[in-house]
Amino acid sequence: MDRKSISDVIENYLKSILGNDEQIEIRRSEIANHFDVVPSQINYVIKTRFTLQNGYLVQSKRGGGGYIRIERVKLLDDVDVLDMLIDAIGSSISENDAFDVIKTLYREKVISRREGDLMLVALSKHTLDMNDHNAENKLRARLLVAFLNRLRYES
């Protein structure tokens, strides 16, 4: 039997609420109460599963009337989103995070499956194969930013 973690369940729940809408606003405490978990569990799910690399923009407002807004972003409809994605990559990115970016580009139909496969191969640990993990992540970030810049100017 395939057992899902509570994080997977919360992620799926939030995605089901989002459905076909562009954005949702939730209250962290209400979701935590719904799943009988601590609010930090909700923060963890949002911070790790609803990232810009995965095609989401998250904003929050703290306080009594506070909320968390999760917005699905379309990458090429807004060049600013690509710029934010490039900023989020920064000067270093792990293989897993880079692969998440590529999956999002494919899911949003920014790139074809073939282009995605080529990008995955180019950014893989096996291809970069450096003995220095930090140098490998820096090279991966430079390559991915170059790919994104090329995509941005092609549209």
CA distance 94 to 124: 10
Distances (CA, A) of 54 to 73, 129, 133: 9, 25, 23
Full-model pTM: 0.62
What pLDDT, on the 0 to 100 scale, is given for residue 16? 94
For residue 153, pLDDT over 80 is answered with no
- The CATH architecture of the domain made up of 6-72 is 2-Layer Sandwich (3.30)
CA distance 91 to 86: 9
What pLDDT, on the 0 to 100 scale, is given for residue 53? 75
Domain ranges, ordered by start, for the chain: 6-72, 79-154
Contact 75, 42 (CB under 8 A): no
The pLDDT confidence band at residue 1, using thresholds 50, 70 and 90, is: very low
Contact 68, 46 (CB under 8 A): yes
* pLDDT, tens digit (0-9, with 9 covering 90-100), for 10-32: 999 999 999 888 889 999 889 99
Spatial CB neighbours of 42, under 8 Å, sequence gap ≥ 6: 10, 28, 31, 32, 68
- The CATH architecture of the domain made up of 79-154 is Orthogonal Bundle (1.10)
What pLDDT, on the 0 to 100 scale, is given for residue 115? 93
What pLDDT, on the 0 to 100 scale, is given for residue 137? 96
* pLDDT, tens digit (0-9, with 9 covering 90-100), for 101-145: 999 888 878 889 999 999 999 999 999 999 999 999 999 999 999
What pLDDT, on the 0 to 100 scale, is given for residue 65? 62
* pLDDT, tens digit (0-9, with 9 covering 90-100), for 71-93: 887 666 567 777 888 888 999 99
